[in-house]
Amino acid sequence: MLRVCVCVSGGGTNLQAIIDAIDAGKITNAQIVRVISNNKGAFALERARGKGIDAVAISPKDYADRELFNEAFLQCVDEAEPDLVVLAGFLVVIPPVMIQKYERRIINIHPSLIPSFCGTGYYGLKVHEAALARGVKVTGATVHFVDEGTDTGPIILQKAVEVLPDDTPKVLQQRVMEQAEWQILPQAIDMIANGRI
Which residue among the candidates 34, 110, 144, 175 is catalytic per the annotation?
110
CA terminus-to-terminus distance, the chain: 16
Shortest approach of ligand GAR to residue 195 CB, angstroms? 26
Nearest partner of 1 among 25, 22, 30, 26, judged by Cα: 30
Binder of ligand GAR out of 11, 60, 95, 169 (CB under 6 A): 11
Phi, psi (5° rounding) for residue 148? -75, -10
**Looking only at residues 54 through 93 of this chain, which bind ligand GAR when binding is defined by CB under 6 A?**
88-89
Residue range at the interface with ligand GAR (CB under 6 A); choices 8-16, 49-57, 75-83, 186-194: 8-16
Is 110 tagged catalytic? yes
List the x/- string, 101-120, binding to ligand GAR by CB under 6 A.
--------xxx---------
Q: 158-167: long-range contacts (C-beta < 8 A, 24 or more apart)?
A: 158/113, 158/114, 158/184, 159/183, 159/184, 160/113, 162/137, 162/138, 163/131, 163/132, 163/136, 163/137, 163/138, 163/139, 167/132
- Reduce the DSSP state of residue 56 to 3 states and report it: strand
Binder of ligand GAR out of 45, 85, 106, 181 (CB under 6 A): 181
Q: Write the single-letter amino acid at 51.
A: K
Say how far residue 167 (Cα) sits from the centre of its chain: 24
Binders of ligand GAR: how many residues, by CB under 6 A? 17
Binder of ligand GAR out of 2, 7, 13, 187 (CB under 6 A): 13
| Minimum CB distance to ligand GAR smaller for 121 or for 165 | 121
| Minimum CB distance to ligand GAR smaller for 60 or for 71 | 60
* 169 forms part of the interface with ligand GAR (CB under 6 A): no
Q: Write the single-letter amino acid at 140.
A: G
Residues forming the active site: 110
